[in-house]
């Protein structure tokens, strides 16, 4: 029997439900997420390319700086992909535990690797759709706002830029909502890539703003540890003075990466838990999943 109540849940109940799932098996979920984060940490150390190294290479040959930047983004892409597999593994373990079944680190990753083609396919399709829409919105809004605010000077340009960022932010929020159900659809319902994306979109009908709000809150909480680590090492100064990057030593960069390795995976289970509880809530609200489950339980008696 599922540990999630068989009824529609309020916003606060979804967040609280995610926290309860998070706390009950925190050690296992944290270990799963940490295992997926560690290869990226090793790649950064092995490549020797980080933000500080890129800044320092910019003082010499420009081609060297471009090469360092390309290597850095390549490492970040590979690291992010591996960490995402860890997120799939956390979802697999969480699905077992929500259903009161046993799970282990090895089982979670076996399910994640088996689910990888469908989950990755749906995620890539959604990402391509998002990039296309964001591109159209960004350049379309810049053109329209530029015409409306032409002759307004620096203040007008700044207002136009901020409005464009707001529109892209709204598109991003709706993208998070549209894709929230991909992992549960693949892991719990065994759907393929196209079907999983369609399932996620269909569950959002009639509740776009609600799903957007929950996903935005969960994502903000998810990135808080990494932002906190960056702020601890003064990375926020880069927005005021980009030259501050040159003042970050290799030792400080290594220490920042190491701390981020430890604290970064802390909130991944909460994000996944929010997705799992939200998926359940949308099924109850749009498909009367609670009544269907109760009817099935009565038939087995």
Task: Give CA–CA dist 194/192, Å, rounded.
Answer: 6
The pLDDT value recorded for residue 2 is 60
5 located within any domain: no
Cβ atoms of residues 203 and 279 within 8 Å: yes
119 located within any domain: yes
Angle at 38 between CA 35 and CA 42, to 5 degrees: 150
> Cβ atoms within 10 A of the Cβ of 17, count?
22
6 located within any domain: no
92 located within any domain: yes
2 located within any domain: no
The domain tally of the chain equals 1
pLDDT digits (tens, 9 = 90+) for 145-189: 766 666 666 666 677 778 888 888 999 999 999 999 999 999 999
Q: CB neighbours of 77 closer than 8 A, spacing ≥ 6?
A: none
The percent of residues above 90 in pLDDT, for the chain, comes to 48
271 located within any domain: yes
DSSP state, residue 244:
G
Cβ atoms of residues 157 and 148 within 8 Å: no
**Average predicted confidence (pLDDT) for the chain:** 82
4 located within any domain: no
180 located within any domain: yes
Task: Give CA–CA dist 205/178, Å, rounded.
Answer: 10
Task: Give CA–CA dist 129/137, Å, rounded.
Answer: 12
pLDDT at 295 over 70: no
Q: What's the token pair of residue 112?
A: 């994640």
Stretch among 208-217, 228-237, 276-285 having the lowest mean pLDDT: 228-237
Look up the pTM and report it.
0.83
3-class DSSP state for residue 81? helix
What domain range includes position 47? 11-299
């Amino acid at each position: 029997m599922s540990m999630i109540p068989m009824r529609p849940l309020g916003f606060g109940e979804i967040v609280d439900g995610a926290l309860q799932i998070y706390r009950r098996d925190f050690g296992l979920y944290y270990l799963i997420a940490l295992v997926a984060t560690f290869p990226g940490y090793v790649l950064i150390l092995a490549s020797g390319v980080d933000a500080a190294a890129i800044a320092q290479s910019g003082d010499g040959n420009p081609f060297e700086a471009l090469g360092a930047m390309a290597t850095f983004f390549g490492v970040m892409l590979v690291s992010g992909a591996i960490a995402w597999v860890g997120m799939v593994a956390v979802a697999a373990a969480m699905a077992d535990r929500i259903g009161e079944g046993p799970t282990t680190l090895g089982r979670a990753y076996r399910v994640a690797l088996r689910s990888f083609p469908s989950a990755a396919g749906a995620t890539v399709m959604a990402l391509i759709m998002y990039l296309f829409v964001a591109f159209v919105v960004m350049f379309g809004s810049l053109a329209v706002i530029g015409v409306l605010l032409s002759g307004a000077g620096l203040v007008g340009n700044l207002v136009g830029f901020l409005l464009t960022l707001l529109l892209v932010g709204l598109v991003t929020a709706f993208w998070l909502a549209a894709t929230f159900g991909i992992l549960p659809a693949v892991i719990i319902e065994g759907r393929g890539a196209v079907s999983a994306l369609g399932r996620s979109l269909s569950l959002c009908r009639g509740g776009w703003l609600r799903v957007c709000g929950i996903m935005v809150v969960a994502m903000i909480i998810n990135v808080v540890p990494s932002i906190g680590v960056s702020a601890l090492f003064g990375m926020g100064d880069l927005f005021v003075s980009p030259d501050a990057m040159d003042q970050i030593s290799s030792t400080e960069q290594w220490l920042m990466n190491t701390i981020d390795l430890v604290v970064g995976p802390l909130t991944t289970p909460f994000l996944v838990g929010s997705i799992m509880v939200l998926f359940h809530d949308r099924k109850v609200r749009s498909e009367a999943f609670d009544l269907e489950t109760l009817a099935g339980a009565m038939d087995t008696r």
